[in-house]
Structure 1
Amino acid sequence: MYAIAFDLDQEALRNHYPGANPNNAYGDIARVLTERGFWRQQGSVYFSNNPNPVQCFLAIQDVQAKHPWFRAVVRDMRMLRIEENNDLLPILGQSELPLGRPPRKRPDVGEFKLN
């Protein structure tokens, strides 16, 4: 499993994003990454079950091709190889979860279990 994590420079985003609302840049990026098989795990961190880093490279090249402003606004960007992905929310107990809802489940993500 691989992940892409990025941080956008907010001032650069205001200067280079062509749309009226610079916050829409995050949705523009998300759409391209989703088309490439990634899902948003949290913030600007996107996971994928692709078995090799080439898919990360291609996804980022695709974002840049579709959104030429992207390079000008990226402050930091990393590719991460995820060995395990365990949900730690159950450690907090059900009473700690917002509105009593169980944590989000993904069929492709492992779960941490206490004995």
Structure 2
Amino acid sequence: MNDDATLGAYLAVHERPPAFTGSDGRAYSVDVFVDPTPDTSGRHGAALLFVRWSVDGARPDGHVETGYVAWGDTVAEAQREARALGLYEVKRLLDAAIGEDARPGAW
């Protein structure tokens, strides 16, 4: 495996979030969001937050997010577990989140 093949390793090696082209053709960067409030079992959920960039790349103009992809007994543990995801899995989750975001929602 490459030195930067997971989300956490990429962040450590490159000192910036990885960027992806989503299934909608737009540019996204990603990091982990951890719910600071534990669930009823005392575990913290971690999700991926993808920032969508403007066509010219100058500024954010939206975002998509996943449901929880990892859990931990502490915020740090949940973040560590989410950052252990491989970049191919992160890309798959981005495309799934874009698909979910495109569906009409209930009002």
TM exceeding 0.5: no
Q: TM-score, normalised by structure 1?
A: 0.26
Counting helix residues as a fraction of each chain, which structure ranks higher? 1
Tell which structure's C-alpha radius of gyration is larger: 1
Calculate the TM-score normalised by the size of structure 2.
Answer: 0.28
